[in-house]
């Protein structure tokens, strides 16, 4: 056995010690060379969203920005929509540097004309829309007793009506492509969240709107995906409105313990490919939704106890 092993090693050393490996050398040492196909021919990279047109509102930060990068990396043509021009340009440049194709449209989703312009500009350049991601949103932090009513209106106009406007104008093109409407809702679209009455109301409204839209267009093959992230690491809490409608500037929660926006975007992309209808993210989020459905009284006490731990909590 040792003798045979030494012969094999001598053959190996002789073969790789020669700089000119010819067919004659292989035949001389009676070596069997396995047939190996070229790797680039056996592994075919198929981007999940190649040449699909994806419109993303609230694309300048957080989940919107992460979705822009994720879908672009998978071959999609990205239309970025947000109010902050400078941030959009940075993301646009990054996508183009990575070989992607993108268009930026300054959009305030509270304005009907801006939403129509976003869709018009998209169709003007690309001729179609395959996916609309209604992500634009703001949050708040104040008890309803203390807040100014303008805060509630601001949240409804952005989180709910912004999604309604964009979906309305994009719908004919989405139906033509048998495409997908995505709404970035929240766990608080399924459960109560004290201190965020306006936010929770806007997300419940979004859920009702999109779930009904799905039913109305079932036979037309429109896919509607409603995403319910748990607490996600982003700047949404930094810019959340206080009782007077001003940005609170500092987050009251530990952002490091939250799911990243990039991870959320990856999950959304995968669910879009599978044409799923509903996502509930994070183990904690899934648990709270299940508890609220089955044990609402107990869950109320758990939620209020958890939210009372926040810095400067009104509870």
Task: Give pLDDT tens digits for 141-173.
Answer: 999 999 999 999 999 999 999 999 999 999 999
Q: What is the pLDDT of residue 245?
A: 84
Residue pLDDT, tens place only, 242-300? 888 887 666 555 556 678 999 999 999 999 999 999 999 988 899 999 999 999 999 99
Q: Which pLDDT belongs to residue 49?
A: 96
Nearest CA-CA partner of 195 in 140, 248, 150? 140
Catalytic site residues? 199
Domains, the chain: 2-42 (no CATH), 53-307 (3.40.50.720)
Residue 5: its pLDDT value, please? 47
DSSP symbol at 34 = P
- pLDDT score for 309: 83
The pLDDT score that the predictor gives to residue 47 is 78
Q: Is the pTM of this model over 0.85?
A: no
- Residue 84: Cβ within 10 Å count: 12
Q: What is the pLDDT of residue 312?
A: 73
Cα(221)–Cα(191) distance, rounded to whole angstroms?
A: 29
Find the length of the chain: 315
What stretches in the chain show pLDDT beneath 70? 1-46, 233-238, 248-257
Q: What letter does residue 219 receive in the DSSP assignment? A: G
Whole-number pLDDT of residue 33 = 45
């Amino acid at each position: 056995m040792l003798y045979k092993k030494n012969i094999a090693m001598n053959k190996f050393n002789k073969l790789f010690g020669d700089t000119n490996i010819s067919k004659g050398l292989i035949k001389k040492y009676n070596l069997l060379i396995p047939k190996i196909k070229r790797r680039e021919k056996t592994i075919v990279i198929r981007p999940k969203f190649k040449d699909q047109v994806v419109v993303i509102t609230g694309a300048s930060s957080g989940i919107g920005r992460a979705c822009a990068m994720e879908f672009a990396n998978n071959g999609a043509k990205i239309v970025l929509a947000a109010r902050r021009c400078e941030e959009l340009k940075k993301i646009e440049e990054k996508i183009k540097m990575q070989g992607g194709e993108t268009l930026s449209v300054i959009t305030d989703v509270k304005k009907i004309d801006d939403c129509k312009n976003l869709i018009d500009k998209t169709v003007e350049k690309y001729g179609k829309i395959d996916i609309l991601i209604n992500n634009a949103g703001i949050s708040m932090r104040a008890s309803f007793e203390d807040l100014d009513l303008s805060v509630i209106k601001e949240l409804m106009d952005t989180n709910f009506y912004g999604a309604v406007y964009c979906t309305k104008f994009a719908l004919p093109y989405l139906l033509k492509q048998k495409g997908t409407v995505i709404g970035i809702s929240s766990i608080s679209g399924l459960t109560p969240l004290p201190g965020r009455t306006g936010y929770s109301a806007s997300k419940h409204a979004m859920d009702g709107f999109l779930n009904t839209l799905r039913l109305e267009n079932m036979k037309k093959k429109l896919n509607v995906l409603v995403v319910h992230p748990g607490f996600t690491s982003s700047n949404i809490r930094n810019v959340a409105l206080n009782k007077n409608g001003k940005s609170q500037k500092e987050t009251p929660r530990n952002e490091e313990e939250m799911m990243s926006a990039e991870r959320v975007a990856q999950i959304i992309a995968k669910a879009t490919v599978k044409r799923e209808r509903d996502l509930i993210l994070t183990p904690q989020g899934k648990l709270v939704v299940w508890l609220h459905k089955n044990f609402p009284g107990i869950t109320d006490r758990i939620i209020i106890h958890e939210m009372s731990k926040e810095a400067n909590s009104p509870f």
